[in-house]
Amino acid sequence: MILNEAHLIYFSPTQTSKKIAEAFARGTGIKQVIITDLTTHSVDAIALPASSLAIIVVPVYGGHVAPLAMKRLQNIQGTNTPAVLVVVYGNRAYDKALKDLDLFASSHGFKVVAGATFIGEHSFSTDKHSIAAGRPDSDDLAFAGKWAETVMEKLRTVDSPNKLRAINVSSIRKPNQPLFPLLRFIRRALKLQRSRVAVPRTPWVSQESKCTHCGLCVQRCPTGAIAKGDELHTDAEKCIRCCACVKVCAQGARVYETPFAAVLADCFKKQKAPQTIV
């Protein structure tokens, strides 16, 4: 099967999904790569042909595909187009996210030929409470490139999209999760919920003197929750707590501190590995 182009589709406020998407695209060896970045805006209706490869990479929020990512995907349609699906999660669990993405793809004209779960630095990760800090790392990106070669080999063995076998993403191998840290997380998370500990609705500027009004947080925010010229404030109605503004702030002016960060950092210290299915 000859693929003329790759359509790289991602939603990536903190750049983790983007890095994995780009590493996979490089590994395919396909020279013509069309990028659809859904991070800061939706797109007009797009129909992808059967002669292209769709690579869809999105982050996991609370065990599901990030709701805004799912919303912005809706205008993208396949035509029996082979698709590779990847969800990126912060080392806790991806729960139903890969199934969510598979349901979208299958109902929008894509034939899912491969799927994967990768680790990305958690949105709540800080120097004090490190949660998968630095992921994806060089090993993750190399793994993504090698996996792309495997996917392409599968696609070369068939003559046409009609002969492609769709995979069952539910059959993907689950990441190794030690039992006791998981039980400890459940107990502590439930305790926080019962105690009604306040969870900040948005990131904030910890010291106004640190903010240089460079506008990077405005550019990176996927929802327009920060306005140019008013960088000291965040619109709570628009904020999705992706913490892109925190990660991009070179001055360390923006912060997001939640009691759940300490729990996640303590209970999920063991780094999970990527898992794939082809």
Average pLDDT over residues 149-162: 89
Please report the pLDDT score of residue 34 as a whole number: 97
Q: Hey, which of 43-47, 161-165, 194-198 has the most confident mean pLDDT?
A: 43-47
Please report the pLDDT score of residue 165 as a whole number: 84
Q: What is the mean pLDDT of the chain?
A: 96
Model confidence at 198, pLDDT cuts 50, 70, 90, reads confident
Please report the pLDDT score of residue 230 as a whole number: 95
Please give the full DSSP string across the chain, using - where no structure is assigned: ----EEEEEE--TTSHHHHHHHHHHHHH--S-EEEEE-SS-----EEE-TTEEEEEEEEEETTEE-HHHHHHHTTEEESSEEEEEEEEE-SS--TTHHHHHHHHHHHTTEEEEEEEEEE---TT--SSS-SSTT-S-HHHHHHHHHHHHHHHHHHHT-SSGGGPPPP-GGGSPPPP--HHHHHHHHHHHHHHHHTT----SS-EES-GGG-----HHHHH-SS--S-TT-TT---TTT-----HHHHH-TTS-EE---HHHHHHHHH--SPP--EEE-
Is it the case that residue 17 has pLDDT exceeding 80?
A: yes
The class of domain 204-257 in CATH terms is alpha beta
Average pLDDT over residues 156-179: 89
Average pLDDT over residues 149-159: 93
Residue ranges covered by each domain of the chain? 5-176+271-277, 204-257
Model confidence at 126, pLDDT cuts 50, 70, 90, reads very high
Average pLDDT over residues 215-243: 97
Q: Among 194-208, 221-235, 241-255, where is mean pLDDT lowest? A: 194-208
Q: What percent of the chain has pLDDT over 90?
A: 92
Model confidence at 211, pLDDT cuts 50, 70, 90, reads very high
What tens digit of pLDDT does each residue of 84-109 get?
999 999 999 999 999 999 999 999 99
φ and ψ at residue 36, rounded to 5 degrees: -120, 100
Average pLDDT over residues 36-64: 96
Evaluate if pTM is beyond 0.85.
yes
Say whether domain 5-176+271-277 belongs to CATH 3.40.50.360: yes
